[in-house]
Amino acid sequence: MQEAVVNLWDKLDGWLNALILKLPNIVMAIIVIVLFYFLAKGVRKIFRKYLLKKISQKSIQDIMAKAIFLTVILIGFFIALGVLELDKVLTSILAGAGVVGLAVGLALQGTLSNTFGGVVLSFLPRIRINDYIETSSTSGFVSEISLRNIILRRPDNNYVIIPNSKFVEDSFINYSLSERTRIEVKCGVGYESDLQKVEDLVVELITNNFKQNEDEYVEFFFTEFGDSSINFMVRFWIDMVKSKQEHAARHKAIKLIRSKFDQENINIPFPIRTLDFAKNNLQIKSNKLEKDA
């Protein structure tokens, strides 16, 4: 027992001597890590101010800034290991990191898929922060693109978080890519109406109230013989980068068409259901005659 205590004490004494001898290296390694931390923040700030601002995509700026920061930190970490004369340990760390990375990659396939999707979305020129987009399940303004998910702010001011992997695999409409969009308004007129007059009135009305640029025209089509009306559709171009503008334009067009038709005594019929009680009436009268007899 006494011999074991002596051996343990000798071991601790050897560690203490080694620690004292390595103390300057440890202090220097800590200083290196601290210096490289502040250096990483400074380099990231410089890149953001002078280089990354030339990139229009804010999401790309964020990803590149994080990559630059981590790269400088890793360089400082490797230098600190060299100061501590732990080159062999560094080799073992890199070898172990490869094995651990493979295991983590297999275990976190979904997370890595989202991360890769975030990188893809960040470099896509067809989607930017504040764009108004519509997917198969929701729509809203792009609020944030991270390495895990994309965040949409809906028109009702609620936020929808979509994993990047699902968003990349799905199709979406980006209304902010083009400033002009063609919308349609549908209506119907009575069978007694002068169809040519209806067409001329609607085309003139829409043309005068909605500016059509060069190579843009108001299009009018009668579409079908309905149950109580002859239905038509008018298509025209508007400025639109978000859905509210479409609703506002359609709202205005419907009010204008209704007002114009009222002025011109053009009927906009609504479905009428006629209930025929003739057979039941006869049956009631027959039963009454039988009772009187």
pLDDT in tens, 68-109: 888 888 888 878 777 776 666 666 666 665 655 555 544 444
Q: How confident is the model at residue 195, as a pLDDT?
A: 95
Q: How much is the pLDDT for 99? A: 55
Domain spans, the chain: 2-107, 126-174, 180-263
Between 93 and 284, name the one with better pLDDT: 93
Helix axis angle, 109-123 to 87-107, nearest 10°: 90
- Residue 191 is predicted with a pLDDT of 92
Whole-angstrom Cα distance, residue 110 to residue 83? 39
- In the prediction, which pLDDT does 146 show? 72
Q: For the segment 107-133, what is each residue's pLDDT rounded down to a tens digit?
A: 444 445 555 555 555 555 567 778 888
156-185 pLDDT per residue, tens? 889 998 887 777 777 788 888 788 889 999
User: Is the pLDDT confidence value at 274 over 60?
Assistant: no
Mean pLDDT score, 52-72: 70
Mention the CATH class of domain 126-174. mainly beta
Q: What is the pLDDT of residue 106?
A: 47
Name which CATH class applies to 180-263.
Answer: alpha beta
pLDDT band of residue 279 (cuts 50, 70, 90) is low
Average pLDDT along the chain: 77
Provide the whole-model pTM. 0.55
